[in-house]
Structure 1
Amino acid sequence: MFRLDPERNYPKKTESHSIIRFQDCDPLQHLNNAKYLDYYFNAREDHVFSIYGFKTDYTFRKYNCSWVVYNHQIGYVRPAKVSEWVTIITSVIYFDESTMVTEYVMTNENKTELKNVMWTTSKYISVPTGKVVPHQEDIQQFLKTVSVEGVDFPEITFNDRIRQIKQALIEGRY
């Protein structure tokens, strides 16, 4: 069972390091475009469990609901290369009653060079019906607790957000 600890201050951005595997690269030794999704989704699943204690199957087991990917926006800024250590940063940048937008950022290990940014929009659905449904109260509270502030998702463009992240990396505040 998932429970937020009201005494705990949860991080809004989560991060981990990963090495780019040879098997995931193209002949130019760059991470294959489709493999970014695997690296991101695996990192996010690890982050939400290890940092928040939230298992990805919680909503399915408790409510028979789950998030389904609605769309992705992805920007390939610089290649991630074979055997390179990267930092993967994930966060919820927007949510409403039935939608969640997760931002994924990949940098070099020291967070001085942006590699990639991806936004994933997910809809919350009832598994039996396949229809979009509102988040339950505990899920809303979780999203409110862990979502970052200061990203004006409905108004900012994806390319403007990439520029913001680049600037934050230069200034050492990302």
Structure 2
Amino acid sequence: MATLKKILESTARIQYQDCDPFNHLNNSKYIDYIVAARTEQLLENYSFHTADIAKKDGLSWVAAQTQISYLYPAAWLEKVVIETKLISFSASSLLVEAFMWNENKTHIKAIMWSKLVHFHIKLQKSHKHSTELMRFFEQIHHPLENDFTFENRVNAIRKEI
């Protein structure tokens, strides 16, 4: 069995329509770029197609909490690297961490944690992950070395930069 990557990475270019009057990426668009990148990364690296799961099984994940800290602005036409990883999971939820870096990965522009709850679309309530999903999550899980809160994680990163 092949070892799956635990940290996924892709690039994006900041688009004009996503920027504010200062040509910086609008705050809400950071989330859009990160979610779009994670969706593509899951598909490209694991053939994990969330839309197919929703159509076939009536199951998906909904955002229960999103925390984001902006460290450096992302600018119009700039290339950014988006790195994501599953830092925690339970029987019915996931916690994904994402960094948006500059192209050379010398500055973290933003850090985001997103808690996702597994959700049964028809029943409109949370749903436990299958055994198969739990095994998959175990393979891609990349826990943090310390038991951080989001604020402590951001503060630790700020000290490094």
Q: Report TM bin, short chain.
A: over 0.9
How many residues matched?
A: 161
From 29, 35, 43, the counterpart of 2:37: 43
TM-score w.r.t. length of structure 1: 0.86
2: CA distance, partners of 1:53 / 1:166: 34
In the alignment, is the contact (CA less than 8 A) between 2:63 and 2:117 conserved in 1? yes
1: CA distance, partners of 2:159 / 2:140: 23
Structure 2 residue 90 is the aligned partner of structure 1 residue 64: no
Residue 162 of structure 1: how far off its partner (Å): 2.1
Residue equivalent to 2:149 = 157
Residue equivalent to 2:97 = 103
From 47, 53, 58, the counterpart of 1:53: 47
Q: Secondary structure at the match of 1:105?
A: strand
From 84, 99, 106, the counterpart of 1:112: 106
1: CA distance, partners of 2:13 / 2:96: 22
1: CA distance, partners of 2:135 / 2:141: 10
In the alignment, is the contact (CA less than 8 A) between 1:93 and 1:151 conserved in 2? no
Tell me the alpha carbon deviations over residues 103-138 of structure 1, each in whole angstroms, 9 at most, x when there is no partner: 111011111101001111111111111111110111
Give the letter aligned to residue 76 of structure 2: V
RMSD: 1.6
Residue 37 of structure 1: how far off its partner (Å): 1.5
TM-score w.r.t. length of structure 2: 0.92
Residue equivalent to 2:76 = 82
Give the letter aligned to residue 87 of structure 2: I
Residue equivalent to 2:115 = 121
Instruction: Give the % identical residues.
Output: 35
Structure 1: 5+ residue stretches without partners = 1-6
Structure 2 residue 17 is the aligned partner of structure 1 residue 16: no
Structure 2 residue 141 is the aligned partner of structure 1 residue 144: no
Give the letter aligned to residue 9 of structure 1: T
Residue 23 of structure 1: how far off its partner (Å): 1.3
Residue 60 of structure 1: how far off its partner (Å): 1.9
Give the letter aligned to residue 35 of structure 2: F
Residue equivalent to 1:4 = none
| TM-aligned CA distance change 1:49 to 1:19, over 3 Å | same
Q: Secondary structure at the match of 2:126?
A: coil
In the alignment, is the contact (CA less than 8 A) between 1:114 and 1:166 conserved in 2? no
